Structure formats: structure tokens, C-alpha cells
Amino acid sequence: MKQKIRGWKEGVITQDLRSMGGFTHRKGSTVRYKRHKEYDSDSYWTGEYQWYYVDTENNNLIRTSELLVNES
């Protein structure tokens, strides 16, 4: 397990999350997550957020529009 990167939180994911490349964060596994603002093509904030998820090795980034984590 690598050290947590500054600004990232850690928790247990509540459902399976699959990437386009085929990697899956399994339900019940520990992931690190961070909230990012979503911008349109003109660089204006849309008022919505994307959630970024990585595993405990800080690899396998998956982005989604839902928070799927219970904080531990």
C-alpha cells in the first residue's frame, strides 16, 4: 500500500465500479477518492462534480458522477 496523496480521502466502495479499460474496483474494497469540479468546453463550471477513484496503490483511475464510498 502506497502513501495517500495529499487531498485524497479513503473509504470502502459500496458497489462494483468498472472502467472502460476493463479494471474493476470491487464492492467492499478500500479505494481512495477525490471530488473534482466539472467544466464545459468554455471553461465554465457546470455546477456538477466528478468523483475520481484509485486503488490503494494510487493506480487504476476511474471517474464517475456519483459518490460510491462509505468513509472509514
Residue extents of the structural domains in the chain: 9-67
Residue with cell 479513503: 10
Going by C-alpha positions, the residue among 9, 15, 50, 16 that lies closest to residue 31 is 9
Size (the chain), residues: 72
Q: What is the predicted pLDDT for the residue at 21?
A: 86
Task: Please tell me the pTM assigned to this model.
Answer: 0.87
Q: What is the predicted pLDDT for the residue at 28?
A: 93
Rounded to an integer, what distance in angstroms lies between the CA atom of residue 40 and that of residue 25?
A: 28
Q: Which residues of the chain have pLDDT under 70?
A: 72
